Structure 1
């Protein structure tokens, strides 16, 4: 058990340090600070944003980890993606979501903690987490494109859907492969996501 705790700390410590060292620019990526103005730029930004934004990347890892535990889990990341698209729509419709950064960080923590502590999380809980976290992250991801040209916005959304589906599915496949050999490591990665989420919460509260 002590060895397991040491491994968990070894996985969690780098995540905390990395998250604490990440600046706000990583969480809200544009084209070197400029808003994409063409479909090509929008698509490239959509592909890059969830990967360069550490909070968004962390939630995709958590989504893949949780989805991997269900027999038909390949469809579950699309619940997150559909909710993400709805969150983008809310932002474009100028619906106000207060304390967004805190809620986004808490969603990363909640998904990671569930992946670490609940190897057989109930489907309703998983769907709820995916729906809420997808909505919050979609709202945050839309910030880059508020006021942009329509073509660039749609291309950005296409990039978001493509990269998020790819990352979550890749994590799902990897998690199933690891679980078949060393099940504890998928839970340790969930702990890593939770640790990063906790660090994001600290950052959001201190901003």
Structure 2
């Protein structure tokens, strides 16, 4: 769990941001730049990274280790496409933080999700994670071409599916957590829930300060 703890500490030191640009804010103009941006966003964004990794851990105890994460990937791509088309999902930032809390506490409880519940949960939250990713496309001045958009979607899908599969395999085989009630699996859930609590406080900080000042 040492690496997980280090990653958690890094996340707690960062402010929540739902769009993380590996190109340093430069516009995407080619397929390869779109692909690079798609790969980099979920890795640079700890909110997305932690959810996807924990999703892979939860999925491996459903008996659908390869299939369940695909529900997230499909919904995430749909949410991204909707946002790119100008259809924004409401309160995406809040729902993404809620996804860390909900999945984190579920995994920390030690109870395995049923395949149906896992797929519904992953797909539901995937729409909002995708909407956040789509903000990069929607926010690029002048828009993007079809090749750039295709590269971006491919990058997003490939890296997140890979993260989920590797996280689940690592938890079950490398960290020797054969069941959902295993201590390492539950600790992973608790860590992600803790990150969700921290990000929740970041969201509430503004309204609380405004209320106190008023």
Q: Provide TM-score, normalisation by structure 2.
A: 0.83
Are the aligned partners of 1:119 and 1:187 in contact in 2 as well (CA < 8 Å)?
no
Aligned with 1:112 (options 104, 123, 126): 104
Q: Match for residue 197 of structure 1?
A: 196
- Residues 32-67 of structure 1 deviation map (CA, whole Å, 9 limit, x = unaligned): 012312111110111111011000101111111110
Aligned with 2:113: secondary structure? coil
Are the aligned partners of 1:102 and 1:205 in contact in 2 as well (CA < 8 Å)?
no
Whether 1:29 aligns to 2:27 is no
Are the aligned partners of 1:29 and 1:49 in contact in 2 as well (CA < 8 Å)?
yes
Aligned with 1:81 (options 73, 97, 103): 73
Cα distance in 2, alignment partners of residues 13 and 160 from structure 1 = 24
- Residues 149-195 of structure 1 deviation map (CA, whole Å, 9 limit, x = unaligned): 22111101000111011100001111221213992111101111111
Cα distance in 1, alignment partners of residues 16 and 148 from structure 2 = 23
Q: Match for residue 45 of structure 2?
A: 53
Cα distance in 2, alignment partners of residues 206 and 148 from structure 1 = 35
Query: Which has more helix, going by share of residues?
Result: 1
- Residues 129-164 of structure 1 deviation map (CA, whole Å, 9 limit, x = unaligned): 101111110000111112222211110100011101
Report matched runs for 1:139-178 at 5 Å: 139-146=131-138, 147-177=143-173, 178=176
Whether 1:130 aligns to 2:122 is yes
Are the aligned partners of 2:62 and 2:118 in contact in 1 as well (CA < 8 Å)?
no
Decide which moves more: 178-187 or 56-65: 178-187
Aligned with 2:40: secondary structure? helix
Are the aligned partners of 1:74 and 1:169 in contact in 2 as well (CA < 8 Å)?
yes
